[in-house]
Amino acid sequence: MTGVFSLLPEGRPGLLLPYADAGPAAGPSGTGPGEDLARYLARGGYAPSRGPEPLLDRLAEAGLRGRGGAGFPAAVKLRAVRDTPGRSVVVANGEEGEPGSVKDRWLLRNRPHLVLDGLRLAAAMTGAARGWVYLSDDRAERAVRRALAERPAEPAVDVVRTEHTYVAGEESAVVRRIDGGPALPTAKPPRPFESGVGGAPTLVANVETLARIALIHSRPDAAAAVAAGHLVTLSGRGDHTEGATALAEVPAGIPLKVLADLAGHGTARAVLLGGLFGGLYGDGWPDLPLDHDGLHAAGTALGCGALHFLHPGDCPVAVATEAAAYLAAQSARQCGVCVSGTSALATTLAAVARGATDDDPTGKLHRWSRQLPGRGACGLLDAAARVVATLLDRFPDRVAAHRDAACPACADPAPDDGRRFRVPVP
C-alpha cells in the first residue's frame, strides 16, 4: 500500500482524515485549492482562545511532545519562551532535513490553515506579536501564502525560504536564516528560547506540533488521543515495487510490523529508524512499539517518525555506508570535529563495505562511534555515529562477512546524495 492513509480508530480526530478528500495543495499546473478555509472554520478552526494558561495546561496534561525529532514536551518549551524577558517570536518550522521524511511538507501543502491556527495559538501562549513560516518547498509555500491571505490577520506572519539541506531545519539554523544569514547551526548557549530571531526569545516549533496544538484546541475532549498520534513516513524497496512509500497517521504504541505490512514491506528484515537518527535495528524490530519511550528503551529513537525498511536483498552495511556518506557530505563544515569525524566514519565504513582493508577497522569505528556524539553544534555528527554504532552492534556477522567475500550490494561506491532515502511527497 502506498500513498496517504490513517490507522486511527473511526471518529478519532486526526491530521489526515478530516481533509483527505480536499485534494492536493497544488495540481499539475501548480495551482489548486489546498485546504478550504470555509470548511476549516466550520470544523472549529480559528476558534477564540479562552486564554493561554488553560491551553498550556491541556497540552501538558495530554502529554504532547514536539514532532521535530527530539520529542521534548511542548508545554515546557512554550512556557520557557513565555517566561523569558522580551517580546517573543514564534516560528513554524517546515524544513524537514531528513531525506526520508515528508510529513511536514504534506501538512503545509494540504493543511496550511491547521498549521497557521497552531502558530496563532502558540503566539497567544507565548505573548508573541509576530510569526514566521520557514520552509523550502515550492508547493508548500504557495499553499501557505494562499492561506495567509485568507486567515484572520493576527498575528503578523511572514514566510522565509531556505535551501533544503540536512542541517537547515535545526532550530539555531532556522534563527540564523530568518535573521538574514546562512541556514547553519550556531553554538549553544544561548538557545533560541533565550535569544533567537533579532535577539528575542523565540519558539521554533515543528509544523506537526503546531497542527496538533490547533486540533487539541478545537477538540479538547480528544486532547490525549490527538497528542498520542504520529505522522510517520514509511519507505524502502518494497515487496512488489521499487520505492514503496506511504505517509500514515498512527496511534502511539502500534507495532512496527503492522506498519510494514500495510505499506508493502512485509518481507523486511530490518529497519532504519528516526530518519537517519535512530540507527539500524535488526532482530526483534517487528515488535518494537512506535512511541518515544518504547523505542528509547530499545536503544533507538523515533526522531522525525521516518522508517526505512530493509528487505532480504538489502545489505545493512551498504545502507549504513550510504547514510554515513550522505551525512558527511551534508556537514555544515563549521565544527572541525564534525568535518573530521563524519569523514573518518564514512571513509572507513566505505572501505569495510568494499572489503578493501587489510586490518580490522571495526575497533576504530567502535571507538569513534562512542566518542563523537555530543561534540558538534547540531545532531548531524550524533546521527552518523549512531548509524555506525548500531550497524556494528546489531549486524556484526554481516560486517565480518565483508572481509571474506565480495558483497554485490556494496560493489559500487556509496552515493553521498541520500538517494536511497529520499521519499516523494504523496
What CATH number corresponds to the domain at position 113?
Answer: 3.40.50.11540
Query: For residues 234 and 265, is the Cβ–Cβ distance under 8 A?
Result: yes
What are the distances in angstroms from CA 324 to CA 214, 272, 320, 329?
37, 13, 6, 9
With respect to residue 283, please indicate whether it lies within any of the assigned structural domains: no
In a shared domain, residues 221 and 330: no
Strands 229-236 and 306-310: parallel
DSSP character at residue 408: G
In a shared domain, residues 202 and 99: yes
In a shared domain, residues 192 and 328: no
Average pLDDT over residues 38-44: 89
Please tell me the distance from the alpha carbon of residue 129 to that of residue 243, in angstroms, as a whole number.
43
Strands 89-93 and 130-135: parallel
Cell 519511550, residue?
Answer: 293
Tell me what the pLDDT averaged over the chain comes to.
90
Domain edge (last residue) among 225, 256, 281: 225
Domain edge (last residue) among 162, 193, 225: 225
Cell 510517520, residue?
Answer: 232
In this predicted structure, what is the pLDDT of residue 87?
A: 94
DSSP character at residue 250: E
In a shared domain, residues 333 and 184: no
Burial of 266 (0-12, 13-18, 19+ CB in 10 A): middle
With respect to residue 347, please indicate whether it lies within any of the assigned structural domains: yes
In a shared domain, residues 101 and 205: yes
Please tell me the distance from the alpha carbon of residue 52 to that of residue 54, in angstroms, as a whole number.
6
With respect to residue 400, please indicate whether it lies within any of the assigned structural domains: yes
Task: Enumerate the β-bridge partners of residue 271.
Answer: 281, 309
Residue numbers of the domain that contains 405: 316-410
With respect to residue 84, please indicate whether it lies within any of the assigned structural domains: yes
pTM, whole model, 2 decimals? 0.93
With respect to residue 274, please indicate whether it lies within any of the assigned structural domains: no
Starting at the edge strand found earlier in the chain, the sheet holding 246-251 runs 3-6, 246-251, 229-236, 306-310, 270-273, 279-281
Distance of CA 264 to the CA centre of its chain: 22
Please count the structural domains in the chain.
Answer: 2
The CATH number of whichever domain residue 320 belongs to comes to 1.20.1440.230
In a shared domain, residues 64 and 176: yes
Average pLDDT over residues 271-298: 94
Cell 501557505, residue?
Answer: 144
Q: Specify the length of the chain in residues.
A: 426
- The cell numbers describing 1, all together, are 500500500
Q: Assign 21 a pLDDT band (cuts: 50, 70, 90).
A: very low
Which tens digits make up the pLDDT trace of 125-182?
A: 999 999 999 999 999 999 999 999 999 878 999 999 999 999 999 999 999 999 999 9
In a shared domain, residues 198 and 50: yes
With respect to residue 97, please indicate whether it lies within any of the assigned structural domains: yes
